[in-house]
Structure 1
Amino acid sequence: MNKSTTIGIDLAKTVFFVVVLDQRGKQARRKKLRRSELLPFLANYPEAMIAMEACSGAHYWAREMESLGHVVELLPAQHIKGYLRGQK
């Protein structure tokens, strides 16, 4: 596994936001993907650690991403507040 790459995914109903961080934790890429585009994007991406908020659909997506060779970490919703920026 390439431990230098971390991917954060914000799951929503139709549009997902993906942020790729490099080994220093700096944002390397930010992309808005539709539901149908997420798995092909991750299939073409090297193995990485993926972090997502645990929600109703997160377990399905975690299984799909693990089948592609990624390591998935589901974060409980009460712990996500520390990662937010802005007025949310």
Structure 2
Amino acid sequence: MKYIPVGVDIAKHLMQVHFVDEHTGEIIDKQVKREKFLEYFSNREPCLIGMEACGGSHHWARELQKLGHK
């Protein structure tokens, strides 16, 4: 299985999601509200997610792994 790399910047109210669209090659830079973050990733194919190391990153990593992401 091919995992699309996705970068995530964690903030207090918004998460910034960065990736390259595999069909168009366009660089996507999207803001996602914290309460919609898991919903956003539950509707995506499994991704290889990189995020900054901070107090909440371990929580988000566990939740994203439950959805099948790496």
Cα drift, residue 28 of structure 1 = 3.6
Runs ≥4 residues deviating over 6 A: none
1:10, 1:68 → 2: CA distance? Answer: 19
- 1:27–1:6 distance in 2 versus 1, CA, 3 Å: farther
Identity over the aligned pairs, expressed in percent? 37
Q: Which residue identity is paired with 1:2?
A: K
2:2, 2:47 → 1: CA distance? Answer: 6
2:61 alignment partner in structure 1: 62
Q: Which residue identity is paired with 1:21?
A: V
Between the two proteins, the alignment pairs up a number of residues equal to 68
Runs of 5+ consecutive residues of structure 2 not aligned to the other structure:
none
1:34, 1:18 → 2: CA distance? Answer: 11
| SS in structure 1 of the partner of residue 8 of structure 2 | strand
Q: TM-score, normalised by structure 1?
A: 0.70
1:20 alignment partner in structure 2: 19
Larger Rg: 1
| C-alpha RMSD over aligned residues | 1.5
1:81 alignment partner in structure 2: none
Q: TM-score, normalised by structure 2?
A: 0.86
Cα drift, residue 22 of structure 1 = 4.7
Matches within 5 A, 1:1-88: 1-3=1-3, 5-22=4-21, 27-71=26-70
> Does 1 or 2 have the higher relative contact order (CA < 8 Å, sep 6+)?
2
